[in-house]
Chain A
Amino acid sequence: QKEVEQNSGPLSVPEGAIASLNCTYSDRGSQSFFWYRQYSGKSPELIMSIYSNGDKEDGRFTAQLNKASQYVSLLIRDSQPSDSATYLCAVTANAGKSTFGDGTTLTVKP
């Protein structure tokens, strides 16, 4: 079992729809949870961080964390073609390093 698993893509949604990206992790000692966005040919960029159970909203992005279920998600409302990218879930446990999922590629069609 991988330490961090993301729902397999690619994911395609029409412009204006909600995109839902999911991630599960195996280490119950995990403390910090992140979503990074990586455009093709570019490096990852941190877009959301969440540390406690519940929802965290930032503009069109909402991160959700459920530690009991070891589950993290990212919702993108009113998806735009510029949101087309690979989204990486990352989890940090006590050891300090971040472990990344393989990523989910999102395509938003105009």
Chain B
Amino acid sequence: QQQVKQSPQSLIVQKGGISIINCAYENTAFDYFPWYQQFPGKGPALLIAIRPDVSEKKEGRFTISFNKSAKQFSLHIMDSQPGDSATYFCAASNFNKFYFGSGTKLNVKP
């Protein structure tokens, strides 16, 4: 049983468009929700993270929207660029345990 469900599995966006990736969770004890970006052959790297007492967090072109009542959170990438092409993972954490979504492979077309 997957603790964090992520969609879509893959996403194709035109340069300049908005990329949106969604995640849902069940465990209300989760208190930290990071997003990671992974390029081929590399380890994941933290992109942006949010805590459940905040509904939105923005860092540059990346925004997390968090809906506590729906137990959902999403990543928005504004003005998507070819360099954003990578696999994105959402995650949820409770104390020391981390649970990851299955990943979204984003392809930004020039």
- Are the chains A and B members of one assembly? no
A residues apposed to B, CB below 8 Å: none
Q: Which residues of B contact A (CB under 8 A)?
A: none
